[in-house]
Amino acid sequence: MVLSIKSGNIASVKMTFNKPNKTTNIKKIRFMKAEKILNISVDCVVFGYDVNTKSLNVLLINRFLESKGEVLVDDYVLTGYHVYTHETLDETATRVLKELTGLTNQYKKQFKAFGNPDRLTNEKDLLWIKNEEFNTRTITIAYYFLLKTEDVSLNNGNDKATWFPVNDLPILGFDHNTIIQEAYEDLKEKCLSEPIIFKLLPDKFTINDVQDLYESILGIEIDNRNFRRKLINKKYIIALDEKQVGVSKRPAQLYMFSLDIYNKMFQKNYLISI
């Protein structure tokens, strides 16, 4: 959306941002008695994996602010919004994702709160905040989502959302580079011990797809023969009666992941590995 606003110290302002537009928002507030908590927000690191380009991406939105023909701010930030008084933190995160992508029921994890007093105090952030209704001393609860890049259509028009490879991010507004970095660290760790890798892959995948994804996330090389054996032996990795189509070499066997079987088989092992 593009808005013309008069507010703060800046006389005439054009700005774009990922949030419900003012009119809709006011209606919503009157109807649901929703009130934003002005110093508490949720920011979402949306990880999307592109199985074709083998790229782990983060969804960012353009933060654009112009006054009297001068571009004041033009960079990228995470998607996020204030917590409403009536909702849980999880609900805020779910709402934010839905408003940006239309998606619900994606894997989501609250991984850390960021609350340094100086987290919103660089020059561009201050310019931006002047035109927003929020507090400089805002604490944000950060979540990350895991989904498939292909599930998100970026043709919604209004939101200037763009995928960036997680290893090739621009300098972001606020403390959002830090937030992504910490989300990524958490993802690296968690994908080793929980089957969340499959949240990033299509329902039908090849063993090599899984390996490529692990290599993308972890930045390492894995021996294909050992990896293949390991995965195939898992009861919850199920070979389908299907093979790849449209490939110009020997087509690979397709598999699926069964969360049901995983959960039934799962038993905490207390292996101490320090």
Partner DNA sequence: ATAATAAACGTAAATATGACGTTAATAATT
Partner DNA sequence: AATTATTAACGTCATATTTACGTTTATTAT
Site for DNA in 213-252 (CB under 7 A): 223-226, 228-230, 232, 243, 247-252
Strand partners, 3: 15
Stretch that binds a copy of itself, among 44-52, 60-68, 80-88, 169-177 (CB under 8 A): 80-88
Which residue from 193, 233, 248, 267 is in contact with a copy of itself, where contact means CB under 8 A? 193
Minimum gap (Å) between residue 173 Cβ and DNA:
40
Minimum gap (Å) between residue 201 Cβ and a copy of itself:
13
Which residue from 88, 122, 158, 167 is in contact with a copy of itself, where contact means CB under 8 A? 88
Minimum gap (Å) between residue 253 Cβ and a copy of itself:
19
Q: Judged by CB under 8 A, does residue 44 bind a copy of itself?
A: no
Look at residue 234 and give the partner it binds from DNA, a copy of itself, none, a contact being a CB closer than 5 to 8 Å depending on partner kind: a copy of itself
Minimum gap (Å) between residue 1 Cβ and a copy of itself:
28
Pair 125, 134: CB distance under 8 Å: no
First to last CA, the chain: 51
Rounded-to-integer distance, Cα 212 and Cα 218, Å = 10
Site for a copy of itself in 101-160 (CB under 8 A): 110, 112-117, 137, 139, 141
Look at residue 11 and give the partner it binds from a copy of itself, DNA, none, a contact being a CB closer than 5 to 8 Å depending on partner kind: none
Could you tell me which of 270, 227, 225, 235 has the C-alpha nearest to residue 256?
A: 235
Rounded-to-integer distance, Cα 200 and Cα 27, Å = 36
Which residue from 87, 99, 132, 186 is in contact with a copy of itself, where contact means CB under 8 A? 87
Q: Judged by CB under 8 A, does residue 234 bind a copy of itself?
A: yes
Could you tell me which of 51, 4, 34 has the C-alpha nearest to residue 147?
A: 51
Q: Which chain residues interact with DNA by CB under 7 A? A: 206-208, 223-226, 228-230, 232, 243, 247-253, 269, 271, 273
Q: Which chain residues interact with a copy of itself by CB under 8 A? A: 37, 39-40, 83, 85-89, 110, 112-117, 137, 139, 141, 191-195, 197, 214, 218, 220, 222, 227, 230, 234, 270-274
